[in-house]
Amino acid sequence: MRRFEGYAVLITAAGSGIGAATAHRLAEEGASVLVSDIDGAAAGKVAASIREQGGTAREFACDVGDKAAVEAAVAYAVEAFGRLDVLVNNACACHPDAPLFEDEDDGEWAVDLDITLTGAYRCARAALPHLVASGRGAIVNIGSVNGIQDFGNHAYSAAKAGLASLTRTLAGHAGPRGVRVNLIAPGTVRTAAWAGRDEQLDAMRELYPLGRVGEPKDIAAAVAFLASADAAWVTGAVLPVDGGTTAVSSGFKIMRG
């Protein structure tokens, strides 16, 4: 199934994990993909892999904390592909909590909010005129179950909750202009952030009703749905893709301790 023939897509933090899996999935379905990441070399490897598999991809080094870099990435996507139809906001930052809340660091709090929430705002603001012009524009924000209930990480969770709110308000603004805006809230996903912690991941699977943690391709499949015409009457939605963890009392607090 090639739902994205003729589409141009920009994905942030696409050099690995969820972003890379999403880039591959949308390219397999026919999209031309701009793989952007703060690590330009990582973005280049993903884009090269897509091209080796017969897809269309370019790479662009972009720090979503930098307004000029974001605007340059959007401009490059439009120049390279002639249009922009889909933006996937995947970039985030997550610092560990201090043992006591009163010891939290202002700088770490600011970074988590700036990259995770304000970065998505910068990207959406730069991309929106082009998404409107496409006539089928869509933004898919990658949130987290942390923005729905308590799994720790104060700053990251606040940023993800803010991203869900931005999804709703932007959906209301952009809907009459022909652009849909939705958010996916993943649970635990096996990415590089969990490198070296296989035992912890194995223990976590028992806390998920579906009996496993997520894989990047699980989130990529949900992005493909929300970005496609299959979701043409879906906007402002928060879609948990979490193996059922937000539907039940999972015991994560016990593990976190």
Catalytic-labelled residue, pool 7, 76, 156, 208? 156
In this structure, which topology does domain 8-256 adopt according to CATH?
Rossmann fold (3.40.50)
Active site residue 156: yes
> Mean pLDDT over all residues of the chain?
94
Q: Which pLDDT band, with edges at 50, 70 and 90, does 256 fall under?
A: very low
Summarised one tens digit per residue, pLDDT across range 140-171 is 999 999 999 999 999 999 999 999 999 999 99
Q: Does pLDDT of 255 surpass 60?
A: no
Q: Which pLDDT band, with edges at 50, 70 and 90, does 204 fall under?
A: confident
Chain centroid to CA 174: 19
Closest CA to 121 of 63, 67, 186, 61: 67
CA distances from 149 to 46, 145, 162, 215, 240 (A): 33, 6, 13, 21, 12
Structural domain spans, the chain: 8-256
Task: Please count the residues of the chain.
Answer: 257
Q: What is the pLDDT of residue 104?
A: 94
Interval 72-76 mean pLDDT: 98
